[in-house]
Amino acid sequence: MAELNIDMLANPSQFARLARKIAPVCLIGCIMLFGWGLYLALIGSPADYQQGESVRIMYVHVPSAWLALSGYLGLGLSALFFIVWKHQLADIAAQAIMPVGAGFALICLITGSLWGKPIWGTFWVWDARLTSMLVLFMFFIGYGALRYGFDNPEKGARMASILALIGCVNLPIVKFSVDWWHTLHQPASIIRSGGMAIDSSMLWPLFVMFAAFQLFFIWIVLHRMLWMLALRRLERRTQTAPAATASFVAD
């Protein structure tokens, strides 16, 4: 069964059939969870006793940060599969993930700045967490620049994949920067030694919003992959059509 699943994910046609089934489910779940999550985040959850109403930015900021990190991990794994096994579907997955992950990284930076102004008194400081997240965003952009910056697409895919793997070094730096260095950014509140430091009245809205964002991430990446697969099929047909016509004329 495991071998069948690997073959399905490596075969573009079988992957496309599976993606067409998964995508609508993700979209429906995303819409439902967003509705519930927004109600919990804006109405159902209390204001923080220190941060006040500014804490509600957390329900967008934190899921965006998580998805930026997990998205880059997916980009790095796709790059590894492309470099080692030359799977074209892995290259397509990396291309699909890149702008989505970059978008979430940018949302994380913007919402973090909006939160920082009332809490820290400034939109930006060269804090270890903020700086490493900015570096992560630049790695996303760098992948796209290399991937589409060569006349030879194969060379661009290879160079971009190498950069994606190098950028994976930054992932633990983003995660543990608040533990390794003295920073303004608050330490981890959920995954940390000693248990979670966030009340359930705020934890549940956060998890619901994360689930909604995660389903949106999967849905849009699958749609981008299906679009790119269709585009590649169209390109192959247009390339073979002139040769077939020339053969017919010669006969």
**E-state strands within 44-137:** none
**Quick one: pLDDT at residue 4?**
43
Residue 103 C-alpha from the chain's centroid: 8
**Phi, psi angles (nearest 5°) of residue 48:** -75, 145
**Quick one: pLDDT at residue 8?**
54
Cα separations (Å) of 216 from 58, 207, 234? 18, 14, 27
219 close to 225: Cβ distance less than 8 angstroms = no
In a domain, 92, yes or no: yes
- Cβ count within 10 A of residue 48: 15
**Phi, psi angles (nearest 5°) of residue 174:** -60, -45
**Phi, psi angles (nearest 5°) of residue 52:** 70, -145
Q: What is the C-alpha radius of gyration for the chain, rounded to an integer number of angstroms? A: 21
d(CA 106, CA 163): 19
**Quick one: pLDDT at residue 141?**
97
In a domain, 247, yes or no: no
d(CA 110, CA 123): 9
**Quick one: pLDDT at residue 190?**
63
d(CA 163, CA 140): 9
**Quick one: pLDDT at residue 102?**
98
Q: Is 64 helix (H, G, I), strand (E, B) or coil?
A: helix
Q: Which domain holds residue 219?
A: 22-43+57-187+197-233
**Quick one: pLDDT at residue 77?**
97
d(CA 46, CA 201): 7
What's the distance, Cα to Cα, between the start and end of the chain in Å? 48
Give the up-direction half-sphere exposure of residue 210: CA atoms within 13 A in the CB hemisphere.
Answer: 15
**Quick one: pLDDT at residue 103?**
98
In a domain, 1, yes or no: no
In a domain, 85, yes or no: yes
pTM, to two decimals: 0.87
Domain count, the chain: 1
Q: For the chain, how many residues are written?
A: 251
In a domain, 111, yes or no: yes
**Quick one: pLDDT at residue 48?**
82
d(CA 81, CA 223): 21
In a domain, 103, yes or no: yes
In a domain, 116, yes or no: yes
In a domain, 246, yes or no: no
Low-confidence ranges of the chain (pLDDT < 50): 1-4, 244-250
